[in-house]
Structure 1
């Protein structure tokens, strides 16, 4: 994916800003700038930009628990601010942004200001290449970028000051008219960057932005599990052993939705409503819960295959059993070999067990 070309702007330097990327900050920094320009700002407080970097990565870190790398400033900041400001994972983006921009908490200010050490001037480095003659150390190099950017030398993207950046007027129309493409460019490359650091984590691209509305499981309930209940009468909850009826059960993800990011039927299970409200995104235990989970899934598949053999939900099992034809192909070890790594990787990424 390439940036939109402009004959009058140094777009190659903008693209070069993402060369040799070793952390996520460059992506979130440009996204923050683009959002601010879209809102009509051309002189933007650095703290506002740092706050936007946090808000845009908040859900990815706290809900989906995608790893940015142990040394990543943004991931560490998000995790610290969650507790420092006593915030919730699902806080609205605008509310979070307002809190971070206006907080009087000294530690919050220090965390946000820490980004000022490197982020703003290093992003401009392609416009001001470092040379041995001009720059004996990083301090001199940083000073040079600040001074040169204030004259918009080399037609750089913005000018740097102590507390604000000022967008180069020559760039404003380009940024506004191409904002969506530029943000897509950032998120595409961010997805590639994070996928390389989370090779076994599914669906990274859809974990970068909080979905507006999480899909319901009403079809899975009505067209699959209700049919099972009509056949069996009652089903025992695999977690509490409570007898569930067709009028009194909840549908839940065996491996949390926050990790798998899908609603495939082979990962859904009827459970006790009260337990469901407290379970959240905790992980089940393979040793304690998988056998009961498997037996219920196997019974459900057999029932649906008999009553509704053309059900689209049965096709979900092709993920586990590519050649499944009937219940004889519903093998215990294949199912377990699919679920166990998901649970282990999720735990390694920060999800906790029940």
Structure 2
């Protein structure tokens, strides 16, 4: 993916900012700049940008548990703020920014200020190459001084507590804000996918979705058919009797990990338990057999009543040749589910 060209600006320098990246700092730093310039700000307090470096990955870290890698302190910073400020993972971004920008808590201030050590000046390195004789301190000092005259048409001028966007860049940033954000997220997806090779759908875990999809279709056109046939079954987690008007539909492997609502990962459970289960993982030893049994029974019933039910096609990702319940293989199903549970646990999802 390429950035929009400009004959007046060194766009290649901006693109090169992600050339040698070992952490996510630069992605979230530029994202914060683009967001604020899009809102009309050109003289920007650093704390506002540091706050966005925490707020933008908030859901990625706390809900989806995507790993940023051992060298990256943003993940640790997000988790520290969550704990120290006593916040919730579903806090609105505007409310989170208000906390971060105004908190008097020393630990939060230190967490934000940590980003000032390297991020603001290293981002400008494509505009200001480091000489062989320079140490890091001298290089940092030179970038600060040179940027304040917008030398080499650099993106912004650096000061102790704020930056000033180069007037030459303002129109470009505002006019191409959407493309720039797509460029950032595209590069961030590539960066994180390498560090999370077995985690599905990284691209859709970078921002908080505006809403979770409804499971009404899966309930009405699949599981309700199951209950109409059997009347009642026991919850695989609580052994509570479930009926057509007394069950919740939930993801066996948490939605926060799989990021989909495919029918083969859904299971009816006790409503009360569902409200407390959160994104905890099931125990394969304690819960898989019950899950498999309900899945197989539901497939057999729905297939019997309507073999062309569209939801049955979703099993083809597990069983490419599935045409009858005889092919609903226990071992194959477990081989597909077990790695998902293991990987999710390795990424920070806890067990029930």
TM-score category of the 2 structures, normalised to the smaller one: over 0.9
The 5 Å alignment of 1:1-354 reads: 1-133=1-133, 135=134, 137-354=135-352
Once the two structures are TM-superposed, the CA of residue 20 in structure 1 deviates from its matched residue by: 1.2
Once the two structures are TM-superposed, the CA of residue 102 in structure 1 deviates from its matched residue by: 0.3
**Alpha-carbon deviations, 1:229-255, whole Å to 9, x = none?**
000011110011111010100000000
**TM-score using structure 2 length:** 0.99
**TM-score using structure 1 length:** 0.99
SS, match of residue 337 in structure 1 = helix
- For residues 15 and 292 of structure 1, the distance between their equivalents in structure 2, rounded to whole angstroms, comes to 52
**Alpha-carbon deviations, 1:168-208, whole Å to 9, x = none?**
00000000000000000000010010000000000000000
- For residues 71 and 59 of structure 1, the distance between their equivalents in structure 2, rounded to whole angstroms, comes to 20
- For residues 15 and 247 of structure 1, the distance between their equivalents in structure 2, rounded to whole angstroms, comes to 55
SS, match of residue 172 in structure 2 = helix
Across the aligned residues of Structure 1 and Structure 2, the Cα RMSD in angstroms comes to: 0.6
- For residues 232 and 73 of structure 1, the distance between their equivalents in structure 2, rounded to whole angstroms, comes to 52
- For residues 313 and 56 of structure 1, the distance between their equivalents in structure 2, rounded to whole angstroms, comes to 35
**Alpha-carbon deviations, 1:242-288, whole Å to 9, x = none?**
11010100000000000000000000000000010111100000000
* 4+ residue segments displaced more than 3 Å: none
- For residues 177 and 243 of structure 1, the distance between their equivalents in structure 2, rounded to whole angstroms, comes to 58
**Alpha-carbon deviations, 1:36-58, whole Å to 9, x = none?**
10111000000000001111000
Q: Is the 8 A contact 2:69 2:195 kept in 1?
A: yes
- For residues 181 and 280 of structure 1, the distance between their equivalents in structure 2, rounded to whole angstroms, comes to 35
Which consecutive unaligned segments of at least 5 residues does structure 2 have? none
**Alpha-carbon deviations, 1:283-318, whole Å to 9, x = none?**
000000000100110000000101111111101100
Which consecutive unaligned segments of at least 5 residues does structure 1 have? none
- For residues 152 and 204 of structure 1, the distance between their equivalents in structure 2, rounded to whole angstroms, comes to 36
**Alpha-carbon deviations, 1:207-235, whole Å to 9, x = none?**
00000111110110000000000000111
Once the two structures are TM-superposed, the CA of residue 71 in structure 1 deviates from its matched residue by: 2.3
- For residues 54 and 136 of structure 2, the distance between their equivalents in structure 1, rounded to whole angstroms, comes to 26
- For residues 55 and 45 of structure 2, the distance between their equivalents in structure 1, rounded to whole angstroms, comes to 16
- For residues 184 and 320 of structure 2, the distance between their equivalents in structure 1, rounded to whole angstroms, comes to 35
**Alpha-carbon deviations, 1:114-165, whole Å to 9, x = none?**
00000000000000001124x2x10000000000000000000000000000
Q: Is the 8 A contact 2:22 2:71 kept in 1?
A: no
- For residues 154 and 20 of structure 2, the distance between their equivalents in structure 1, rounded to whole angstroms, comes to 19
SS, match of residue 44 in structure 2 = strand
Q: Is the 8 A contact 2:46 2:162 kept in 1?
A: yes
